[in-house]
Amino acid sequence: MNYKIPESVLVVIYTSDLDVLLLERADKPGFWQSVTGSKDHVDEPLLSTARREVQEETQLEAKNFDLQDWAVSNVYEIYPVWRHRYAPGVTKNVEHVFGLCLPERYDVSLSPREHLQYRWLNWRAAADLCFSASNAEAILQLPERNRKQTQ
C-alpha cells in the first residue's frame, strides 16, 4: 500500500479584498477548508506541492498568481478517521502554510471525489467556518499579512 506522507501544505486562497475561498470536503460533508494536500513523494518541493494541490482542487494555475510561502509550519494530530491513509504508527502531520492572492474572486472547478462545493466568504466568516484550527488561524492572519504587503 502507498501511504500518505505526513507532510502537507495548506494554501489559503484569497483576494486583496480579503475574500477567502473555502471548499467542502466530499468525505466529510460540513467540513470546510482551504486547499490542502500531502506531498506526492518525499523529495517533492513544498512550493511544487502547493501549486499541484491548487491545480488539482480548483483548476487554478497558481504560477499565474502571487503564491507565497508564509514560513509557518503546524504540527497536528491526524484525525483517527484518516490515520489509515498513513503508515502504521504515524499520528502527526507537519503542515506548511502558503497564501495565494488573486486579483478577484474566480469560479473554480472542483474534483467531485474531493469536494462537494465551494464558497467565497469574507475572512472573518471563512475563519469561523473552517473545521481546522490551523486553517482558521492562517485566515485570521490575512489582514496583517495584507497590510504588510501593501506597505
Distance CA 11, CA 135 (A): 9
Residues 74, 80, 85, 87: is their CA dihedral positive or negative?
positive
**pLDDT one-digit tens code per residue, 47-85:** 999 999 999 999 999 999 999 999 999 999 998 988 999
**pLDDT one-digit tens code per residue, 4-22:** 999 999 999 999 999 999 9
List, in order of start, the domains of the chain with CATH numbers: 7-149 (3.90.79.10)
| pTM score of the predicted model | 0.94
**pLDDT one-digit tens code per residue, 117-144:** 999 999 999 999 999 999 999 999 999 9
Cβ contact 21:14 at 8 Å: yes
